[in-house]
Amino acid sequence: MEIVYISLLTIIASWVGTVSGFGISTILVPALSLFYPLTPTLLLVGIIHWFGDIWKLILFKKGIKAQFIFLFGFPGIFATYIGARLVFEIPEVILSRSLGLFLLLYVVFIIIKPSFKLSKKEGVSVVGGALYGLSAGTFGVGGAIRSAFLSTFNLPKEVYIATSGAIGIVIDTVRLGTYISNGANLGKSLWLGLLIFIPTSLVGAKLAQKVVLKIPQKRFRNVIAIFLAISSLLMLLRK
């Protein structure tokens, strides 16, 4: 039943993550941490998330923006390593709720002032990459920060999703390596479960691809904002 439960969650999380550019970890980490210790949860979700990034690149491969991979990726690499090392020392709930509050305030603000966008200066993107990496490494949930910054540039849907996936691969590779080198591991059942979880994540991504193509570009930023709001509430309510 655990395998079935995680597989169904993976399909839903992959669907949300592909449509919005983030969400796989936001859904899976809180749900699975109810049944498993934090360390194996982060490792398992990180592996699923890594493949989710791969699906974004495959399904929207014509949309990658190398500029953002550089601006977000490089500062994110160092921040991710630091965050992944801190995961065993800092209470994850405190960090998660702090991030949730920040994102909720951000969503409320852009609803009140829909024309507002974060600065498009390169320095702002560098800061965003560092915050994203630190968040992803520390408690496995960082895509919402990446999306908050990327949505500022009002990128075409395909470009936004593919670029988001490319940045995610860089960050996920660093944090997975750091988790494993610090002793994180999965039980036999979860390692075997990946043989099912990975294909089901592709199913969710393929279903999402059909939805994304039907969303008007001018409404796409609103879709991201909705998922940001849901994400922030999940983080605030997490125990």
* SS3 track for the chain: CHHHHHHHHHHHHHHHHHHHCCCHHHHHHHHHCCCCCHHHHHHHHHHHHHHHHHHHHHHCHHHCCHHHHHHHHHHHHHHHHHHHHHCCCCCHHHHHHHHHHHHHHHHHHHHHCCCCCCCCCHHHHHHHHHHHHHHHHHHCCCHHHHHHHHHHHCCCHHHHHHHHHHHHHHHHHHHHHHHHHCCCCCCHHHHHHHHHHHHHHHHHHHHHHHHHCCCCHHHHHHHHHHHHHHHHHHHHHCC
Would you write out the chain's pLDDT as a tens digit for each of its 239 residues? 688 888 888 888 888 777 766 667 777 876 787 678 778 888 998 999 899 889 888 888 766 777 777 777 788 888 888 888 876 676 766 766 766 676 677 667 656 765 555 666 667 778 878 888 887 777 666 666 777 777 777 777 778 788 888 888 888 898 899 888 888 888 888 899 999 999 999 998 888 877 766 766 556 556 666 766 776 777 677 66
Q: How many domains does the structure of the chain reveal?
A: 1
- pTM for the full model? 0.74
Residue 49 belongs to domain spanning: 2-237
